[in-house]
Amino acid sequence: MQQLNRIYEWARTRPEKTALVHNDVVWSYAAFARAIELQRIFFMRQALPVGKIAVVVIDHRVHAWCVLHALRSLGLTTVVETSMTVAAQLQLNDVACVVVKEGDQQHPELRAFAGIPILVAIDTTMPPEASVCVIPSAVENTLTGDVILLSSGTTGRIKKLRLGAQYDVERMRNTVTMYGIDERTWLHALNYPLSMAGGYTLPSAVWWCGGTVVFDQRVDVFEHLFAQPITLCFMSPSVAEAFNRAPAVRPSAGQLTILVGGGRLSDSAARALIAKTGAILQLVYGSTELAGSRTLALMSTYRSHDDLHTFDVCVGRRVHVVDDAGRECPPEVTGMLWIALEQADAREYMDDPEGSAQHFKGGGFYPGDAGMRLPDGRIRVLGRSADVLNAKGGKFLLDPLEREAAAFVGGNAVCLFSRLDAHGNDQLMVAIETLGPVTQDQLQALNGWLVKTLQFHTIHVEGVARFPRTAGGMQKIDRQALRVMVLAGATAQPVGSQSS
């Protein structure tokens, strides 16, 4: 197994070098390798069938990684999930075992795995002593199992994708090149689940090079974020905005790059993030479905508001804007994003032919976003094609509208919905996530702009302390749940209503 052998090689040649830090507990490469080998010895004794699936439900990041490496080295396909509830909903076939930590073997959600062996992994939540086991020069069993990744971005519910092990080496090498990773890299993939592409590939690539990964699972994670000399940090937009609201933290001297992907980041949040950290901010666009050797499709380095939604196509990827028939749209014409698949990418969802047929077509993948190609070749992403506002018989993509609306109210997130009022007239429902103060002048300016832009008769503004978020790793706004909240809170006389 190439990945594991790389870790063992670093353990022999640089045993004291820091491989990872978990909640300020430092693990050397030697300790990391010993912990993995302890798990390997344990699972070898279980005589698990090669090629079958092992479901790992362990929330401690280091523990989960050690179990993952051990099981894959024995030829098992692994899926790692921290939530027992989510794991119970996966409906997987060919499951050889479910692996949990001590204390979880009687969890009620495990009833979903009736008849399947429940294995309690040995405890490797703390670095083992040097005398515990010998690190082999190489993994004797050279089989490498696949990985099952989870995605919910395109269809609103969990999808399963199988990532083939035969592309691991190519995947590591390309990830290293794409992100500029080397042995000096200190990565913090902040709150990014191991079950998703970035959570799986980024730490692997860092360990491939002999770098360091930082995991922090404490409640006050932001206060500890830069206690280590982080050089590369991955955040979702919701995490970035939460970090901006946390007490001021300044990174150590040296160059820091922050990657933000998985949703829309406001211009005010981007500027605040740079002011707070002094980092280079890169906006990235990809998906778990692009699980091949190049996991990103689009990237932009933030300099101005335009860079938040206008991207360069990453080297090695082909991204097109197509119409409903799959034909290339002319420049500056809105269409659907279509990303050509490379050999190592997923071609379908497991056990979901309907979802596969909808999103994998013509040798490419439809991520579900609208966009346009600019004359200079860059791609402008306009947001989810399903998120459309119907107004006065017209259709408006919500993402550009909501981005501009947010600028009127100090960068607070804005979501727009339409409905018919009691008289059958179009009514615009405006939800503002009131994390920062919103003044009457700002509301009036927003109201006037919306009336002029959309020609609604009435506009209802509802302040929401905190938008509901999806349970996935990106913590995207749950628009369906938010709509229910806003409609339930609507009054007979809408706040801020105005005739068009």
Does 499 have pLDDT greater than 60? no
Contact 30/11 with Cβ under 8 angstroms? yes
CATH number of the domain where residue 283 is located: 3.40.50.12780
Q: What does the longest C-alpha to C-alpha distance in the chain come to? A: 78
pLDDT tens for residues 82-109?
A: 889 889 989 999 999 999 999 999 999 9
Range with the poorest average pLDDT among 59-63, 250-254, 432-436 = 250-254
Residues 265 and 317 in one domain: yes
Q: Is residue 438 part of a domain?
A: yes
pLDDT tens for residues 347-380?
A: 899 988 988 998 999 999 999 889 999 999 999 9
Residues 380 and 397 in one domain: no
Residues 227 and 310 in one domain: yes
Q: Is residue 154 part of a domain?
A: no
Full residue range of the structural domain in which residue 70 is found: 1-9+28-145
CATH number of the domain where residue 456 is located: 3.30.300.30
Would you say how long the chain is, in residues? 500
Residues 138 and 275 in one domain: no
The count of domains in the chain is: 3
Residues 126 and 230 in one domain: no
pLDDT tens for residues 169-199?
A: 888 998 999 899 999 999 998 878 888 888 8
Q: First CA to last CA across the chain, in angstroms?
A: 66
pLDDT band of residue 492 (cuts 50, 70, 90) is very low
Q: Is residue 494 part of a domain?
A: no
What is the per-residue DSSP string for 60-95?
A: SHHHHHHHHHHHHHTT-EEEE-S-HHHHHTS--SSE
Distance from CA of residue 453 to its chain's centroid? 33
Tell me how far apart the alpha carbons of residues 458 and 313 are, in angstroms, rounded to a whole number: 41
Q: What is the pLDDT of residue 471?
A: 61
Higher pLDDT, 481 or 325: 325
What is the per-residue DSSP string for 129-182?
A: PTTS-PPPSS-SS-----EEEEE-TTTSS-EEEEE-GGGHHHHHHHHHHHHT--
Q: What is the pLDDT of residue 497?
A: 41
Contact 349/356 with Cβ under 8 angstroms? yes
Residues 63 and 92 in one domain: yes
Tell me if residue 475 falls in helix, strand or coil: coil
Range with the poorest average pLDDT among 219-233, 255-269, 443-457 = 443-457
Q: What is the pLDDT of residue 436?
A: 77
Q: What is the pLDDT of residue 490?
A: 53
* Boundary-marking domain end, from 145, 178, 201: 145
Q: Is residue 17 part of a domain?
A: no
Residues 187 and 259 in one domain: yes
CATH number of the domain where residue 133 is located: 3.40.50
pLDDT tens for residues 13-26?
A: 999 999 999 999 99
**Cβ count within 10 A of residue 27:** 23
Does 487 have pLDDT greater than 80? no
Mean pLDDT to the nearest integer, 486-499: 52
Q: Is residue 156 part of a domain?
A: no
Tell me how far apart the alpha carbons of residues 76 and 53 are, in angstroms, rounded to a whole number: 6
Find tokens 């402008």 and name the residue: 380
pLDDT tens for residues 437-451?
A: 888 888 888 888 888
Q: What is the pLDDT of residue 273?
A: 92
Mean pLDDT to the nearest integer, 52-57: 97
Tell me how far apart the alpha carbons of residues 229 and 226 are, in angstroms, rounded to a whole number: 6
Q: What is the pLDDT of residue 214?
A: 96
Residues 1 and 79 in one domain: yes
Q: What share of the chain is helix, strand, coil (3-state, %, to 5)?
A: 30, 25, 45
Does 473 have pLDDT greater than 70? no
Q: What is the pLDDT of residue 372?
A: 94
pLDDT band of residue 493 (cuts 50, 70, 90) is very low
CA angle 306, 311, 314 (to 5 degrees): 160
Q: What is the pLDDT of residue 281?
A: 96
This prediction's pTM: 0.83
pLDDT band of residue 426 (cuts 50, 70, 90) is low
Q: Is residue 237 part of a domain?
A: yes
Residues 354 and 429 in one domain: no
Residues 228 and 298 in one domain: yes
pLDDT band of residue 419 (cuts 50, 70, 90) is confident
* Boundary-marking domain end, from 384, 403, 430: 384
Does 165 have pLDDT greater than 50? yes
Q: Is residue 495 part of a domain?
A: no
Phi-psi region of 162 (alpha: psi -120 to 50; beta: other; left: phi over 0): beta
Residues 237 and 284 in one domain: yes
pLDDT tens for residues 324-341?
A: 899 999 999 999 999 999
Contact 104/70 with Cβ under 8 angstroms? no
Nearest to 69 by CA among 98, 93, 38, 36: 36
Q: What is the pLDDT of residue 148?
A: 94
pLDDT tens for residues 367-414?
A: 988 999 999 999 999 887 777 776 666 667 788 788 888 888 887 888
Q: How high is the mean pLDDT of the chain?
A: 87
Range with the poorest average pLDDT among 157-161, 248-252, 444-448, 460-464 = 248-252
Residues 176 and 109 in one domain: no
Percentage of the residues of the chain whose pLDDT score is greater than 90:
48
* Boundary-marking domain end, from 351, 384, 417: 384
Q: Is residue 157 part of a domain?
A: no
pLDDT band of residue 461 (cuts 50, 70, 90) is confident
373 CB-near residues (< 8 Å, 6+ apart): 320, 321, 329, 331, 332, 379, 380
